[in-house]
Structure 1
Amino acid sequence: MDAKLSPNQGLNLSGIGLVSLLGVGLGAAAVVLDGMANRLPWQGTSLTMPLLVCALISAAVGYWVIPWLQALKAGQIIREDGPQAHLKKAGTPTMGGIFFIPVAAIVACIWSNFAQDVLAVSALMLSYGFVGWLDDWQILRRKSNKGISPRMKLMLQIGFALLFCLWLINSQPSSITSIALPLGFSLPLGLLFWPLAGFVLVAESNATNLTDGIDGLAGGTVAIAMLALGALVAPSSLGLMVFCAAVSGSCLGFLAHNRNPARVFMGDTGSLALGGALGAVALLTNSLAALFILSGIFFVETLSVMAQVSYYKATKGPDGKGKRLFKMAPLHHHLELSGWSELQVVAVFYIISAILAVSGYAISKF
């Protein structure tokens, strides 16, 4: 007989309790990382201050924006073939990315005195957020789960990635000559930069988008990854460190409203923007190896979808139906249908993300 984990077993936290623990953990980590780098937490050039300021601003702005989204009837359309427990979420406002993503971009640009690299990654993040907004708006307008076509979404993502790469080549040519690897090794790129950079930006944004399926999941895991990435890039760019801390803090402020039970969802507006921001910072600072580790959760979520589709096609019979490797993909939905509660999934993913963040930071220091 299969053993199932019921909502009353194991971790027993409320949504606000879990997010509070995450906030304390991120704040403490920021203070420790600042101390290790001989930065005072209350200085402008620190991880701690942008994190806290953006968390407070995003949380406060949410109290004004969410009622406005409700008045616009911007309610999420829930998939009928998904976990049945999610059907009760129908009507919860989506497009939450429209308030916490701009907060991060504006604060980071002002805080960094409009540094060129911060302006560039902020522009990429907002551009991907715009692609997500188009998708969310079409879903709401049509009252279905189908937004803009996958082809259109991909072409827009590639287009904005191309513009970012053109800027990168002209302004930061040293960033694209090779990939930095642990232990001092490097891998020459040459013309391979173009397909690699495009793949990183598009894949990272879509992977983050796939992870956004449970209250608080994407926001929390991105907040952890962004803070770690900010600590990694600090020696080469204090401006990008501030940007990462601002995005991490904005995600934390968003979680004040998105924690279980969620009052708002980030939608593609938020998830595509966050993935694009991770990829852009990693490309600009030659931190792709670290990004691969920090994005472990997003990578596994994407692999679960790819494996599900491939296995279904490979086992398709004469009736046109195949077998499923998972009960549902991405992986977080499989765990839900296996008996885990949403909070248990989110808590375990937070822990794994924290372990990956520490591992990525430590390995990158060798």
Structure 2
Amino acid sequence: MLYYLFDYLHKHYHLPGAGVFQFISFRAAMAVITSLIIAQLFGGRLIRVLQRKQVGESVRDLGLQGQLEKKGTPTMGGLIILMAILVPVLLFAKLDNTYIVLMLLSTVWLGLIGFLDDYIKVFQKNKEGLSGRFKVLGQVGLGITVGWVLFISNDVTVRQYLLPDGSYSAVDASTIYQDVKLMITTVPFMKNNEINYGDLFDMAGSVFNEYYAFFYIPIVIVIITAVSNGANLTDGLDGLAAGTSAIIGVTLAILAFVSGNALLADYLDIMFIPNSGELVIFCTAFVGACIGFLWYNSYPAQVFMGDTGSLALGGIIAVLALIIRKELLIPVLCGVFLIENLSVMVQVSYFKYTKRKYGEGRRLLRMSPLHHHYQKLGYHESKIVSRFWIVGIMLAIFTLVTLKLR
């Protein structure tokens, strides 16, 4: 909103300083500052309200160190994260940008699903919360919406540059370019690090090529569901999900910035995505919200984010990666989420297998998800969180290195 106000003042009244709102870097900086302020101002008040209403976490005794001490800690703190993301984006981003609209929709959509789950657990005293199938249905609905918009919207394009000699450059004065509608994505570790989904389905046959939207959308659904559930599983120790998400958010902000800048995209030899630079503002608000929430969620936590926050964080990360065509980097960038997901899947599968074969279920890990396994081994949760963050930082650096590692 402020972008449009200051743009109007700059163009019609030549207000000194108003033109600074044209710069993404300035608005991104303002977004992260505003996000941190909102988290601080709104967070403390919300925690006091939750305490008065006795919106506390119910904890089962699983034999984990310090677990019972968490009983009664306010939950639904994800509302802090949602507020700290939405307000700065509404203030500083271009709201007619298709990518920004998609991100706002994804944040609210999954935030509402998580809120409903937390509400049922807390106020209706139902420990199961929202039925799993309804959660998945909501994630699938978002996946269909995001996939369809990315597939059909004329605003979702990539820019192709062509010089007379057949080479490509974003900086040559004689460059001819066109913004084309291509369902293309980045493939790490390959010399020509781009692949068109349409070409893949073309190899499978003409029917696949003609209707490949119906095959692309399921890919989007799987990515959104997997990452949002991965973030949800990771939210089991104080500060783990928020800190890991902040690290991923910084990486996505860098990737969005270089993908939305013609000169940097040309230098790094990556695809230039027109108008995607605006996502930097969303990313910085996202990072500010996660860090601001850590003020209250670091050990010992004063508030838990609940599904209100964790489902939204994972969904935001997935949709951001899809928009900037970096979804195939998710297994690396979101490696912490991935290993948490896999630890649960392997534990459950192995237990069922051994129960069928030997008559009693056996476990590979002391407990799943993985962070609880280390708790069972006697590690303090702050040490586990710190080490998971370090792993997250290493994976983030490796993700950025893939821009030139081919």
Q: TM-score category by the smaller chain?
A: 0.7 to 0.9
Q: Tell me if structure 1 keeps the 8 A contact 2:38–2:83.
A: no
* Residue 195 to residue 268, structure 1, CA distance change in 2 (3 Å): same
* Residue 365 to residue 128, structure 1, CA distance change in 2 (3 Å): farther
Alpha-carbon distance between aligned partners in 2 of 1:364 and 1:50, rounded to the nearest angstrom: 26
Shift of 1:79: 2.6
Shift of 1:247: 0.4
Alpha-carbon distance between aligned partners in 1 of 2:83 and 2:281, rounded to the nearest angstrom: 15
Are 2:161 and 1:180 equivalent residues in the alignment? Answer: no
Alpha-carbon distance between aligned partners in 1 of 2:386 and 2:228, rounded to the nearest angstrom: 22
Could you tell me which residue of structure 2 aligns to residue 5 of structure 1?
none
Alpha-carbon distance between aligned partners in 2 of 1:153 and 1:72, rounded to the nearest angstrom: 26
Q: Tell me if structure 1 keeps the 8 A contact 2:32–2:288.
A: yes
State the Cα deviation string for residues 29-86 of structure 1 (Å, max 9, x = none). xxxxxxxxxxxx995144x443333123212210111111112211111133362521
* Residue 195 to residue 42, structure 1, CA distance change in 2 (3 Å): closer
Could you tell me which residue of structure 1 aligns to residue 101 of structure 2?
119
Shift of 1:109: 2.9
Q: Tell me if structure 1 keeps the 8 A contact 2:80–2:289.
A: no
The one-letter code matched in structure 2 to 1:137 is Y
* Residue 74 to residue 293, structure 1, CA distance change in 2 (3 Å): same
Could you tell me which residue of structure 1 aligns to residue 361 of structure 2?
322
Alpha-carbon distance between aligned partners in 2 of 1:43 and 1:189, rounded to the nearest angstrom: 32
Q: Tell me if structure 2 keeps the 8 A contact 1:290–1:361.
A: no
Question: Of 57, 60, 71, which aligns to 2:38?
Answer: 57
Could you tell me which residue of structure 1 aligns to residue 161 of structure 2?
none
Shift of 1:319: 8.4
How many pairs were matched up? 325
State the Cα deviation string for residues 70-112 of structure 1 (Å, max 9, x = none). 1221111113336252111111111111122122122123211
Shift of 1:145: 2.7
TM-score, normalised to structure 1's length?
A: 0.84
The one-letter code matched in structure 2 to 1:184 is N
Are 2:261 and 1:222 equivalent residues in the alignment? Answer: no
The one-letter code matched in structure 1 to 2:308 is T
SS where residue 195 of structure 2 aligns?
strand
SS where residue 364 of structure 1 aligns?
coil
Are 2:117 and 1:94 equivalent residues in the alignment? Answer: no
State the Cα deviation string for residues 286-340 of structure 1 (Å, max 9, x = none). 0113332210100011110011001101110588530011111000000011010
User: Which 5+ residue runs of structure 1 have no aligned equivalent?
Assistant: 1-40
Are 2:327 and 1:288 equivalent residues in the alignment? Answer: yes
Could you tell me which residue of structure 2 aligns to residue 297 of structure 1?
336
User: How is 1:1-366 mapped onto 2 (pairs within 5 angstroms)?
Assistant: 43-46=25-28, 48-81=29-62, 83-114=64-95, 115-171=97-153, 172-174=155-157, 177-182=183-188, 183-190=191-198, 191=212, 192-235=215-258, 236=260, 237-316=276-355, 321-366=360-405
Q: Tell me if structure 1 keeps the 8 A contact 2:255–2:324.
A: no
Answer with 65-74 or 177-186: which moved more.
177-186
* Seq. identity, %: 35
Q: Tell me if structure 2 keeps the 8 A contact 1:102–1:126.
A: no
Q: Tell me if structure 1 keeps the 8 A contact 2:65–2:380.
A: no
Shift of 1:144: 4.4
The one-letter code matched in structure 2 to 1:278 is I
TM-score, normalised to structure 2's length?
A: 0.76
State the Cα deviation string for residues 143-187 of structure 1 (Å, max 9, x = none). 343101111111111112212222222325547623211333233
Alpha-carbon distance between aligned partners in 2 of 1:286 and 1:308, rounded to the nearest angstrom: 32
SS where residue 281 of structure 1 aligns?
helix
Alpha-carbon distance between aligned partners in 1 of 2:382 and 2:65, rounded to the nearest angstrom: 16
The one-letter code matched in structure 1 to 2:352 is K
The one-letter code matched in structure 2 to 1:218 is A
Alpha-carbon distance between aligned partners in 1 of 2:356 and 2:192, rounded to the nearest angstrom: 50
* Residue 67 to residue 319, structure 1, CA distance change in 2 (3 Å): farther
Alpha-carbon distance between aligned partners in 2 of 1:208 and 1:335, rounded to the nearest angstrom: 18
Give the greater-gyration-radius structure (CA). 2
Q: Tell me if structure 2 keeps the 8 A contact 1:332–1:345.
A: yes
Q: Tell me if structure 2 keeps the 8 A contact 1:177–1:189.
A: yes
The one-letter code matched in structure 1 to 2:197 is L
